[in-house]
Chains A and B, each alone.
Chain A
Amino acid sequence: MASLSGRQFRAMVKKDIVMELRTKEMIMSMGLYSLLTMVVYFVALSQTGSNFDPRDIAAGLLWLAFIFTSMLGLNRSLVHEKDQGCLEALLLSPVDRPVIFFAKVIGNLIFLLAVEALTIPVFGFLFLQGSSLDIGSMALVPLIMFAGSVGIAGVGTLLATMSVNTSGKDFVLPVLFIPLMYPLLLGAVSATAAAITGGPDAMGGFWIGMAWVVGYDVIMLLASYGLYEFIVGA
């Protein structure tokens, strides 16, 4: 059974990637939205005084962009499954519901990380040019990005599954998703800020934030795992 679950899991992730490479719907919409957000930030912050240091708010700006961007993709990922009843066909097959859940989480995580990989260099170019950065601590940014994205993809996949069957799915997802992201944001922003600021004092803050995010990921993924079967059968 374990090997069948593995086959099913790989097939579902592969299917999502093949379909996305073909349509580019999620990557295009998320990528464009994220880049436009960076441009809006840039224009808005260009009016600030000369004493303003973008590093003070860089982490918050980045995570806000990722949270809002992810909602676009999460909705799309489940709409694909709802098209022509594909989700029903998937649920009809002898696959454990958690396998479906984790396959969708991995698919969403891959697309979110791809968009983040595109956005972060643009953000650095627009806001951090000329700032003195600690390369060693900046190297930790991908680590917290990955940990935070796991939480976004996990909680978001569960909530998108819930909201896709509702008539106001574009409204329901943000209303449920954003409050649940609050604890994640606390840890992720604090750890990212520490990594961007750098220095020996910041490292303690980074690892505390990182531990907070990993704890959030574990708790929320376990809760989502437990709830997924109930939600798809409700």
Chain B
Amino acid sequence: MGSEQPTANALEVRDLTRAFGMRKALDGVSFDLPGQAFLSVFGPNGAGKTTLVKVLTTLLNPTSGTAKVLGFDVVSDAVEMRNHIGLISHNPLLYPDLTAEENLLFFAEMYGIEEPHVRVAELLDAVELDHRKLDLTRTFSRGMLQRLSIARALLHRPEVIFLDEPYSGLDPHAMDILDGLIAAVRDKHTFVMISHDLDKGLELCSHALILAKGRVVLFEPREAIDEAVFRDTYRATVGLGVA
């Protein structure tokens, strides 16, 4: 597991920097997150939230610094690490010209899942889409796509789940289903969620992080957070604008 011994922390981020040309989207970000924690990441548009998730999910390489997820280095252990992480984004990350079942079976092959049909049927049932499994996903509503996207992210039973504004554009029913799915696996998984919704983010989190201009403004466990002070800090941060 990883290039070094695993630690109790699910995430270890040290002086992480990611630049796009001259602009630093992440600028010396450092924090540790214990296992089975739920981290909500807040910040204005352009603060570096999505870049942070992309680096932690191996979609982008850091410019400097290190990040480990479950002890796996995001650069040197990237392929192995991907077996242990899942991403639910505001984008469905699904092929519109494949059916719901074909999409999940395809990704099951990507993860080398044994008995893929059994696992896919189980997840289609969990997200209440088994009756639409033979339909192309281009015919799905936003909520249905998001439910299928959740099934895709959970296919390989990841230990760390990243959520990039997962509630964006969902109707109340779809939000309830997402809430239920998160609650069902909440105790056994580590979550990292990007959100603009302070109430939802604070309700779910065990830790909160505010990013602005690619830097950590605040990182605290939930119990240490004074909600009024936190909201003031967030409002002041949003006023900083983009990085």
| Interface positions of A (Cβ within 8 A of B) | 4, 7-8, 10-11, 15, 18-19, 22-23, 80, 83-86, 88-96, 233-234
| Residues of B160-206 whose CB lies within 8 A of A | none
Chain B residues 88-136 with CB under 8 Å of chain A are: 89, 91-98, 102, 106-107, 109-112, 136
Residues of B within 8 A of A (CB): 57-61, 79-80, 82-83, 85-87, 89, 91-98, 102, 106-107, 109-112, 136, 145, 152
Are B152 and A89 touching (Cβ within 8 A)?
A: yes
A221 CB to closest chain B CB (Å) equals 21
**Residue of A10, A19, A85 touching B93 (CB-CB under 8 A):** A85
With A15-B98, A23-B97, A93-B111 known as contacts, the answer to whether A88 contacts B91 (CB < 8 A) is yes
Task: Choose from B60, B85, B93, B106 the contact partner of A15 (Cβ within 8 Å).
Answer: B106
**Are B110 and A22 touching (Cβ within 8 A)?**
no
Min distance, Cβ A76 to any Cβ of chain B, angstroms:
12
Flag if B111 contacts A94 (CB, 8 Å). Answer: yes
Number of inter-chain CB pairs below 8 Å: 80
Q: Which residues of B contact A83 (CB under 8 A)?
A: 95-96
Closest to B86 in A: A92
- B97 partner residues in chain A, CB cutoff 8 A: 19, 22-23, 80
- Residues in chain A near residue B95, CB distance under 8 A: 15, 19, 80, 83-84, 86
Contact residues in A for B82 (Cβ distance below 8 Å) = 92-94
The interface residues of chain A lying within 8 Å CB-to-CB of B152 are 89
In the complex, are the beta carbons of A94 and B83 less than 8 A apart?
A: yes
**Would A94 and B80 be within 8 Å (CB), given that A7-B109, A88-B59, A89-B152 are in contact?**
yes
